[in-house]
Amino acid sequence: AKGAGRGKHCFYEASMHSEASDRQVLENDLRQAIDKGELWVAYQPIVSAAGEDVCGFEALVRWNHPLRGKISPEKFIPLAEECGLIGRIGTWVLETALEEASKWPDSVRIAINLSPIQFNDPNIVEIVSNAIARTNVRASRVELEITEGVFLAEGDTTDETFAKLKDLGVRLALDDFGTGYSSLGYLKKAPFDKIKIDQSFVRGAASTTSRNSAIIRAIVTLAESLQMDTCAEGVETHDDLQLIRELGVSHVQGFIFGRPVEGLEARELAAKAVVV
């Protein structure tokens, strides 16, 4: 039994080692990915629930790895956060997305995801304001999506950052709402303009149980009384869309209206967007 245990131990060690070096290889690849032009930004339409007009797009980063093909941001964003690359990648996404948005009609918004680490970077306000100045995009068109992770990674400057970003005139959205802890406290604390209702409440809401629709209804009531917009993420079916509308959610994002597309295609969609 001892021998078998030792063998097992060796086996685990070997696989742990290959996992670690695999990670190391990926990290090195990611380090060079921007310079090699392997990263690009996709844009997914965000649509008004009532009229189906395109109101804006969410910027979603993509990585085409030369050997491994497409790698999901669910995989490489956490890696970037752990190995100190998120600042560089995040700034690149911000600048690329604002550059793209500068080619759209002035009424069309651009939403950008900020990692908690980026948000708590003491230079974040300067980074955002520089990108806005450089691209000439009206600040109120820019919506920064942050998660509750911001508060968990809270630094001395978190409250100040909220105030300064609002002073710049950008909008703030609370992303993945409902999936973390004590979200209500965060709503009280920070001046959000929009709540993004997590896909886990949205997808299949019409067919599964009434629980999801009760939760969505409660979020909408809360958001309305705090004068915030709502966006339902991950709407794929007409049944879910109809329910979302009935529940009074103001914006919709999901494959039913469009998948994330590349810049050129987003530009065409944006040009067709109704100016409101």
Q: Which of 45, 56, 178, 260 binds ligand C2E (CB under 6 A)?
A: 260
CB 253 within 8 A of CB 45: yes
Q: Is the dihedral of CA 238, 263, 60, 150 positive or negative?
A: negative
Q: Which of 91, 113, 212, 230 binds Ca ion (CB under 5 A)?
A: 113
CB 256 within 8 A of CB 275: no
Q: Which of 254, 263, 270, 273 binds ligand C2E (CB under 6 A)?
A: 254
Residue 234 near ligand C2E by CB under 6 A: yes
Strand, coil or helix: 140: helix
Q: Which of 81, 100, 121, 145 binds Ca ion (CB under 5 A)?
A: 145
Residue 274 is encoded by which pair of tokens? 């109704």
d(CA 115, CA 94) in angstroms, rounded, equals: 12
Part in contact with Ca ion (CB under 5 A); list of ranges 77-85, 92-100, 127-135, 167-175? 167-175
Distance in Å, CB of 231 to Ca ion, minimum: 9
Span between the terminal Cα atoms of the chain, in Å: 74
Q: Which of 176, 193, 229, 240 binds ligand C2E (CB under 6 A)?
A: 176
Residue 140 is encoded by which pair of tokens? 């109120």
Task: Find the radius of gyration of the CA atoms of the chain.
Answer: 21
Q: What's 261's DSSP letter? A: B
Distance in Å, CB of 14 to ligand C2E, minimum: 31
Which of positions 70-129 make contact with ligand C2E (CB under 6 A)? Answer: 72-74, 77, 90, 93, 113, 115
Residue 176 near Ca ion by CB under 5 A: yes
d(CA 16, CA 275) in angstroms, rounded, equals: 55
| Positions in the binding site for ligand C2E (CB under 6 A) | 44, 59-61, 72-74, 77, 90, 93, 113, 115, 175-176, 233-236, 253-255, 260
| Positions in the binding site for Ca ion (CB under 5 A) | 113, 145, 175-176, 233
